[in-house]
Amino acid sequence: MLLAITEKGDVSTSTWLRLDNGVAGAHLMDLALAERVRLEDDVLVVADGRPTGDGPLDATLSEIAGDEPRSPKDWIARLAKAEPHKAVVASLREQGVLREERSKVFGIFNRSRDLEADPGPEREVRERLHAALVEGGALDARTASLASLVSATELVGEVFPDKEERKAAKRRLDELKEGDELRDALGAANQAAVEAMLVAVTLMVSVSVTTSAAVIANN
């Protein structure tokens, strides 16, 4: 979420088309990494129903536990409809990471922006991604998952505005997709689940962008 929000406190139009699918996929990946859910016969099941301590994440875990088994793609589509980015933003405000600023446009229309009150968390994330994708550093499971999610949601340009760094990051991501390093970083316990989420996010992002483009064209 922090990577998607611009310095002005908003989200670009192109990122909006991918945002909730990406957040929904991130929740599922976090739950898989925490070994709260696992993949069985291509559907997600709860492996451990204990709370994680993260409000939005626990809400997702509770929803999965209380519903019928679904594929990662079906869960992402279902979760994205509830606009999960709103709960994440609310949580970041509560933690003091974001600060909401309200104003009016032309003195009529309400506008809300989320400015960074604490730049530390985003800086730490960007430094981890830079070390892994530009400098070629070692990958842990969370960084590998985040890097893959950044690629799936087409946020590489947002994270690496410098042209040469962006090229290096894309090359590294291609290497991860083709080799065994991503699988090694994820570990056998959650490899299949996380990879299934990434495939689902990529598919759902593609569907969202194509549908939105069609709607705009028809109007």
Helices vs strands, H then E, count in the chain = 10, 4
* Average pLDDT, integer, range 136-145: 87
Q: Does the pLDDT of residue 60 top 50, yes or no?
A: yes
State pTM to two decimals. Answer: 0.85
**Is a pLDDT exceeding 50 seen at residue 143?**
yes
Q: Is residue 39 part of a domain?
A: yes
Q: What is the C-alpha separation between 124 and 121, in angstroms, rounded?
A: 5
105: confidence class by pLDDT, cuts 50, 70, 90: low
Q: Is residue 219 part of a domain?
A: no
The answer to whether position 6 is within a domain reads: no
Q: What is the CATH number of the domain that holds 116?
A: 1.10.3630.10
Calpha distance 74→38 (Å, rounded): 15
Report, as an integer, the average pLDDT of 31-41. 90
Give residue-wise pLDDT tens across range 146-201: 998 898 888 999 999 999 999 999 999 888 877 677 777 776 657 778 878 787 88
Q: Are 147 and 173 in contact (CB under 8 A)?
A: yes
Q: Rounded to 5 degrees, what are φ and ψ at 52?
A: -90, -20
What is the model's pLDDT at position 103?
A: 76
The verdict on residue 134 lying in a domain is: yes
Query: Does residue 201 form part of some domain?
Result: yes
Closest CA to 85 of 52, 60, 111: 60
User: Is pLDDT at 125 greater than 50 in this prediction?
Assistant: yes
Does 83 reside within a domain?
A: yes
Residue 178 CA to chain centroid, in angstroms? 21
216: in domain: no
Residue entry with tokens 């859910």: 37
pLDDT score of 200: 82
99 Rama class: left (phi>0) / alpha (psi -120 to 50) / beta: beta
Say if 2 falls within a structural domain.
Answer: no
Show the domain range for 63.
13-209
Name the residue with higher pLDDT: 104 or 7: 7
Tell me the C-alpha to C-alpha distance, in Å, between residue 148 and each of 129, 169, 182, 203.
10, 11, 9, 14
Please state the domain count of the chain.
Answer: 1
- Mean pLDDT check: name the lowest of 51-60, 155-164, 194-203, 209-218: 209-218
**How does residue 208 score in pLDDT terms, banded at 50, 70 and 90?**
low
